[in-house]
Chain A
Amino acid sequence: MLVDTILLAAEVAEEVEAGGGLFDFDATLPMMALQFVILILVLNAIFYKPLGRAIDEREDYVRNTEKEARDRLTRSEELAEKYERELGETRVKARDTIAKARAEATKIANQKVAEAQQEAVKERESAQAEIDRERQEALASLEGQVDDLSRQILEKLVGRELVS
């Protein structure tokens, strides 16, 4: 076996001389080239084109979907911001309204209290006036009675004829 191996080189050289050999160019070359070109065409039709298109379409799809998603995100962020702003405005407005209502209520209450006080004062005054008047009247009638009484006393004392 070892001898065989050693003789390998010699064998190769011999084969070349015998018409075979390593560097035996013949019609294999052009036919292989032709076969390879056909292989390119076939693979282009059944492999490169359809699969390439599939890859490109997927890339497009991913890109579009990503873009859409990003758009949606932006839009939703905008909406959220808008709502936030509106919420803030509404809150401020609500606070204003509450403050205004409270102020109004306070005003009305104050007014009512003032009115009531005024009325009370007025009523007290009128009551006072009535009291005054009635006292006056009482005094006046008392004065009249004084005249009467003194007259009667006089009559009793000095006699009726003298008095008139």
Chain B
Amino acid sequence: MLDVATPLNSLLVAELEVGKHFYWEIGNFKVHGQVFLTSWFVIALLVIASLLATRNLQRVPSGMQNFMEYALEFVRDLAKNQIGEKEYRPWVPFVGTLFLFIFVSNWSGALLPWHLIQIPEGELAAPTNDINTTVALALLTSLAYFYAGLSKLGLGYFAKYAEPTPVLVPLKILEDFTKPLSLSFRLFGNILADELVVGVLVLLVPLFVPLPVMALGLFTSAIQALIFATLAAAYIGEAMEDEHHEE
């Protein structure tokens, strides 16, 4: 379709490529190379920040340690609020990594001019811009809350499906499918939509006008990361809730 576009279009930086992927072939499998490239960047960023923060641990933190401690306290509070004081500690790495990965991914997509780096096909964007990433994260969340429920309550976890009344069993089973679906599509949709809106606006008016939308995109990105991590923690906490003991 873009071939139809006038040469004028190629003079401009702004160009929209949706649904095109930079395929890598690994054995018989195809993967989206652009997603991995940017996700490696995000992972490297996280790892380097962590290494810098923990390189020289001090009782009185400063600089990077202080910043990363702030981040850690933030995700700890998030997990604590959703899962509860007693059980939250083992889940901090999962929930925290969800938040940090999504947050850094989204902001890298919103702040870094990925599109300027040319790759053979498709374009670089936030890793969360790809449905595969968000579904992977959502499925991991499902696995996590199943694991949490089963390890805490054993098979009694499934007994909770019939509470408060057995009429709700089909709904509860349905919920197990809608949870990852809504998680992944919410994140995917928001990030992609934001990128598209910015792209379209840049296409129409390349100067200044897209800025407010970009700022809004930063806000949305942060909120989406927070929502994903909070919901994941809430699902885990809900799965571990022991109704017999709490009443």
Contact = CB atoms under 8 A, between A and B. Distances in A.
Interface of A: 1-2, 4-5, 7-8, 10-12, 14-16, 20-33, 35-37, 39-40, 42-44, 46-48, 50-52, 54-55, 57-58, 61
A57 B4 CA distance: 64
A33 B72 CA distance: 22
SS class, residues of chain B in contact with chain A: helix
Contacts of B32: 24, 26, 28
Interface in B24-55: 26, 29-32, 35-36, 39, 43, 46-47, 50-51, 53-54
Given A26-B31, A52-B92, A33 B140 contact: yes
Contacts of A10: 1
A47 B54 CA distance: 7
A47 B18 contact: no
Nearest to B5: A4
Contacts of B130: 28
Contacts, number: 149
Nearest to A62: B59
A5 B31 contact: no
Given A42-B47, A51-B72, A25 B132 contact: yes
B186 to A, nearest CB: 15
Contacts of A30: 136
14 contacts: A1-B204, A10-B1, A20-B21, A26-B132, A28-B130, A29-B135, A32-B35, A32-B36, A32-B137, A39-B46, A40-B93, A48-B92, A52-B92, A54-B57
Interface of B: 1-2, 4-5, 8-9, 12, 16, 18-21, 26, 29-32, 35-36, 39, 43, 46-47, 50-51, 53-54, 57, 59, 61, 65, 68-69, 72-73, 76, 92-94, 96-97, 100-101, 127, 130-133, 135-137, 139-140, 192, 200, 203-204
Nearest to A46: B50
Contacts of A2: 204
B102 to A, nearest CB: 10
Given A26-B31, A46-B47, 11 more contacts: A8-B200, A11-B2, A11-B18, A15-B1, A22-B19, A25-B135, A26-B32, A32-B39, A35-B39, A42-B47, A58-B59
A52 B72 CA distance: 8
A47 to B, nearest CB: 4
A47 B72 contact: yes
Contacts of A12: 18-19
B203 A5 contact: yes
A43 B21 CA distance: 29
A25 B188 CA distance: 13
